[in-house]
Amino acid sequence: MSLLINDLACGYAKRTVLKHINLKIETGEVLCILGPNGVGKSTLFKTIQGFLAPHSGQILLNGKSISKWSRKQLAKNLAYVPQTHEASFPYTVSEVVLMGNSRV
């Protein structure tokens, strides 16, 4: 599994929040993105997940543009756990982990 981001610019409508983002992540690698509020971390994640269209550049998952993946395919291959979550039910940590495991 690989995620390649090449010269990405992203944001909302006509407002570009991030530009010239380049990143390559391979299976087994761990990445942490840190920064103060308002610098575009969430915008980057929303764009990688396909919820926001890139203004320019490309995002490739296993060599294929995420724009070519169906929502179902992306959900099977790409996961995101936000730093805060308000659950509707009192799930245990184990239950949350199991929900994200497609093999269960």
Mean pLDDT calculated for residue range 16-36: 93
25 neighbors 31 (Cβ within 8 angstroms) = yes
According to the model, what pLDDT value does residue 85 have?
Answer: 66
- Delineate the domains of the chain, giving CATH numbers in brackets: 2-99 (3.40.50.300)
pLDDT at 65: 94
Which residues fall within 8 angstroms of residue 55, CB to CB, at 6 or more apart? Answer: 9, 10, 11, 16, 19
Q: Is residue 23 over pLDDT 60?
A: yes
Tell me how crowded residue 21 is: count the other CB atoms within 10 A of its CB: 18
Two tokens, residue 54: 């890139």
How much of the chain, in percent, has pLDDT values that exceed 70?
96
Q: What is the pLDDT of residues 41-87, one digit of tens each?
A: 999 999 999 999 999 999 999 999 999 999 899 888 887 777 776 77
The residue-averaged pLDDT of 15-41 equals: 92
Query: If you search the block for the tokens 């407002």, which residue do you land on?
Result: 15
